[in-house]
Amino acid sequence: MRPTMTELAKPRPLPAGLGRLVGAFRCSVAGLRHAARNEAAFRQELIASALLLVPALLLPVARLERLVLILSMLLVMVVELLNSAIEATVDRIGTERHPLSGLAKDLGSAAVAVALLMSIACWIVIAGPTLVDTLAGAAG
């Protein structure tokens, strides 16, 4: 059964040691689950990353380049999660329109756009030449 918003708002006692790590991991999983179920942009980025993971693993590129391709996709998802956290915090404070609330949301959205551009640039620089060579070889 899913917890209610009131239950989610209750402070939890902080365990120590390994219990703290387990608790942090559970919170992380809950956050990822929430984002996957309730955040359309995160779902789109998750699907795109899953689809791009196959070519990232199969492209004949160096290990470091493969890592850059994969990490660039993960960066987009990390920034999207932070953007969602900013939006949730702003909405928690109040739903009325305020210039600073709008600015916070716009800046979070801009951060996602920059991360997407970075990822696209990585894919163009690393995967682009390989794909061009592959297509040229198939055509000739």
Which active-site residues does the annotation give?
80
* Spatial distance between the Cα atoms of 50 and 67, rounded to a whole number of angstroms: 15
By C-alpha distance, which of 122, 140, 14 is closest to 59? 122
CA distance 52 to 122: 13
Cα–Cα distance measured from residue 29 to residue 23, given in angstroms and rounded to the nearest whole number:
10
Taking the CA atoms of 91, 92, 93 and 94 in sequence, report the sign of the dihedral they define: positive
- Rounded Cα distance between 85 and 104, Å, is 11
